[in-house]
Structure 1
Amino acid sequence: MTSYDKPFKTHSQQLELLRERGMHIADKAAAMRALRNIGYYRLSGYWYIYRVRTKFVCAPGAAPHIEIGDQFKPGTTFDRVLDLYEFDRRLRLHVLDAIDRVEIALRVRLGYTLGAGHAFAHLDRAALDETFTRHDSRNPIASQSSWLDSQHAKWLANVRRDEDRSKHEFVKHFKSKYGMPLPVWVVTELLTFGSAATLLAGLKQPQKNMIAADFGIFDEHCDGDGAALTKWITNLVYLRNTCAHHSRLWNHNVVDQLGRLEGTPDLAHASGVHQRSRIYASLAVLAYLTSQLDPESTWRTDTAAMIDSGLVGVGESPDRIGCPPLWDREPIWSVDYQPPADPLPAEHREILRRFECVGTAEVGVIIDARSNPRRRASAVRYHRAHSELLGFPVGNTHWFPVFQLDTAGQRLNPLVAHVNKALEAKQDPWVAGAWWCAPNMNFGNAVPTDLLLAGLLTMEMVDAALAAKRSER
């Protein structure tokens, strides 16, 4: 380690130093203003690429050692450095504009998805992923001490601090009228982007998948890809913090890099190492998300135009920010780009939102005591084929609502099987699913699944309701 012994330099001395090193300064007054308002050190991040690289041979037979010298390349101008800085400044503001839209949309979806369970689901350890809460549903009391050191407990402490400090009128109104705690759809309005990302990561996988589907991110089974969304949001939080602290985006080495881009065809071209290590992949993700949120958004085309005018305009290649060859010919940057539609009809996706679902393997473990996975899968197919087990076809697989399963009895609930058969669940599972999750006038507008889970639904009740349904045809 060496001690720092460089002397202080005035703005005039800094300007003279740049001239001595070969930088052309056409307007001294403008350059002085830039040094006063932006700073020598910050601007050095933009003229760094114009410094001369010098080779040094360290030892006989050793590979040449390349260092950055003190001199600038011939033709380097202060105006060009300022143009590059101005491009970077405008790009940061442009990126923040897109992230603002994504952040607000994420807050809404978090409140909506968790709130569908109950108003205080964010406080309920059983409603969140066990890796987030360290909650053991088989032994909830013993897991209390583990929860105290969990991510959920730390997240909740920050949320409560923000609730206490909040001066928002809607928070004051709620506190005065209802007291505490605040429901989840109010809490999400107080979250920072980082705190919202933490909550997203702490959701159960089906909830993550629901939110991902709302953002137009799907896996090969047409289900929402919650794992991809979580990775994307983590990257965007990093990018947002970079912009908010006025750090350089231009030529920036991204630390929290994007993953799982290959599953989204319009973003597969951005999955390369160079694209992800610079900001291009993040720009492509923002182009995709803003288009999903608003198909009329011009953010994508504005971005492409900004890169062209800001980089090409100063003689720099888009490769500097990770743009791959022919990047501007990718569909996502075109004027007439249309974001991919949900592979499921909207009414089917809404029905799926109403249920916690599992796959064939999880159902098989519950309804068939045999250890052979193939026989378990065969049992699941048998009950579905006979309309006793409701399974929603999603892509090339089926998802089964868990309310049908009697976990304690290791069987399919007989009452549910009876209803499903009467509803012909095999022929039209979506109609059967709608019956289970919609308020029913024959039950005083109660929802059948709510009555079932409360132990209030009887065979006589469902037979009377089904008879009334048949008489309506």
Structure 2
Amino acid sequence: MQMAKVPYSKPALNYADQISQLKARHLHIDDDNKALHLLQTLSYYRLSGYWYPMIKEPKYRHLFKDDSKFSNAFKLYCFDRELKQLVMGDVEKIEIAVRAKMIYIMAMTHGAFWYLDKNLFIDPAAHGKTIKIIEREYKRSDETFIKNFNAKYSDPFPPSWMILEVISFGTLVKLYDNLLPSPTKLSISACFGIDEPTFSSWINSFVSVRNLCAHHARFWNKKMNIHPLVPTTTNHMFITNFTAPHRIPGRPNFLNNQRVYFLASVLIYILNTINPNHSFKEKLHKLLAKYPMIDTKAMGFPDGWESESLWNWKRVCSNRKWYRRYWRYLKKDILLYFETKRIRNYKPTN
């Protein structure tokens, strides 16, 4: 049964009253001056997301568990900030790699201005909307190479290798998702060792997580509004502690693809295909060791996660079998591109 809505009537509290209220609710504050400084610079409401796990049931009473400390809430905040910085740095590497693969493969197959060709896309109306977004981002860009292009050329838009460097990651993913199914599209996802539907769900998740981190929202224990697919097959090592067909006898029936653990596993998998010598998992291990009070289960980490092969994997991902498959796709697309170009340029002798 849904509760009836009521008008919001809670008053604004000054800093002194905020501290008094926290103490009245049994939150231990070691240093009032430090607490005051943090409330002034971070805000009560932002910090409340970090002391919320310390509130005992029923939550609506707002009473803290025994031994709950303001300093621990701040440590949680610091951990979350460092975690977001770590994730953002490596999502950036993936974003750049996706841009690079799209630019090269699509331009080699369909020419410099492929992104303007509506015949390459599933939904022409959605493509038109994306082009309008691209136009806004293009006009807003102050990159030197964009200014030089506009000064020299009469084309309304620059070639894909320029424009795809100035549009947002979200716009790039919209462009990719709307591409018609083809060997070319498959070859892009194949570069990252994953099937196309799973790859699409993963890069869409990265867009959401990137935006969440960029806007400084709480991240560490959040159930995010993302739906990355659990792959049925992969070209490289992935986590195995998932529900069937990935469940291992005796392991938890665990599936939570909306929390940090699954996202971090996806990050590691993709980074392994870009640079097998990346340091993301080592940095995350060190970060968790730096903050031993962190409840990793709240982040979606299952029992025994450290024994997962993905989290210990040191092998180079670029195995020969995978590259043979990739080149088979890419070679077909390149040949198709030149054959199409030859037919278009054909002139009858009569």
Shorter-chain TM range is 0.7 to 0.9
Query: Is 1:237 the equivalent of 2:207?
Result: yes
Structure 1 distance, partners of 2:41, 2:175, is: 39
Correspondence for 2:171 among 177, 180, 195: 195
Correspondence for 2:92 among 74, 78, 100: 100
Q: What is the Cα deviation at residue 342 of structure 1?
A: 5.4
Structure 1 residues 45 and 344: alpha-carbon distance in aligned structure 2, compared to 1, 3 A threshold: closer
Structure 1 distance, partners of 2:266, 2:241, is: 9
Query: Is 1:320 the equivalent of 2:298?
Result: yes
Structure 1 residues 345 and 244: alpha-carbon distance in aligned structure 2, compared to 1, 3 A threshold: closer
Structure 1 distance, partners of 2:316, 2:107, is: 31
Equivalence for 2:46: 42
Partner SS for 2:198: helix
Equivalence for 1:86: 78
Deviation per CA, 1:251-284: give whole Å up to 9, x if none.
2011122114332363343655643131211111
Moved more, 156-165 or 229-238: 156-165
Structure 1 residues 448 and 43: alpha-carbon distance in aligned structure 2, compared to 1, 3 A threshold: closer
Structure 1 distance, partners of 2:267, 2:75, is: 24
Asked whether the 8 Å contact 2:273–2:317 carries over to 1, the reply is yes
Equivalence for 1:132: 123
* CA RMSD, 1 decimal: 2.4
Query: Is 1:303 the equivalent of 2:284?
Result: yes
Q: What is the TM-score when the length of structure 1 is the normalising length? A: 0.65
Asked whether the 8 Å contact 1:275–1:281 carries over to 2, the reply is yes
Asked whether the 8 Å contact 2:19–2:36 carries over to 1, the reply is yes
Deviation per CA, 1:292-344: give whole Å up to 9, x if none.
1111111122123223433xx12x43111001111111122227354363524
Correspondence for 1:291 among 272, 275, 278: 272
Query: Is 1:269 the equivalent of 2:267?
Result: no
Equivalence for 1:169: 144
Asked whether the 8 Å contact 1:96–1:243 carries over to 2, the reply is yes
Correspondence for 1:352 among 329, 338, 349: 329
Structure 2 distance, partners of 1:165, 1:22, is: 51
Q: State which structure, 1 or 2, has the greater radius of gyration over its C-alpha atoms.
A: 1
Q: What is the Cα deviation at residue 154 of structure 1?
A: 0.2
Equivalence for 2:249: none
Deviation per CA, 1:158-187: give whole Å up to 9, x if none.
111222222110001112222322111111
Q: What is the TM-score when the length of structure 2 is the normalising length? A: 0.87
Structure 2 distance, partners of 1:328, 1:340, is: 23
Structure 2 distance, partners of 1:155, 1:270, is: 38
Structure 1 residues 300 and 20: alpha-carbon distance in aligned structure 2, compared to 1, 3 A threshold: same
Structure 1 distance, partners of 2:340, 2:198, is: 31
Residues 462-473 of structure 1 correspond to what in structure 2 (within 5 A)?
none
Equivalence for 2:116: 123
Asked whether the 8 Å contact 2:184–2:329 carries over to 1, the reply is no
Asked whether the 8 Å contact 2:90–2:280 carries over to 1, the reply is yes
Structure 1 residues 306 and 457: alpha-carbon distance in aligned structure 2, compared to 1, 3 A threshold: farther
Structure with the larger RCO, 1 or 2 (CA within 8 Å, 6+ apart): 2
Equivalence for 2:246: none
Asked whether the 8 Å contact 1:262–1:268 carries over to 2, the reply is no
Equivalence for 1:207: 184
Deviation per CA, 1:122-176: give whole Å up to 9, x if none.
11112x23x232xxxxxxxxxxxxxxxx110000011112222221100011122
Aligned AA for 2:179?
L
Query: Is 1:14 the equivalent of 2:18?
Result: yes
Partner SS for 1:282: helix
Structure 2 distance, partners of 1:449, 1:21, is: 73
Aligned residue pairs, count: 331
Bigger share in strand:
1
Query: Is 1:184 the equivalent of 2:160?
Result: yes
Q: What is the Cα deviation at residue 49 of structure 1?
A: 1.1
Aligned AA for 1:319?
K
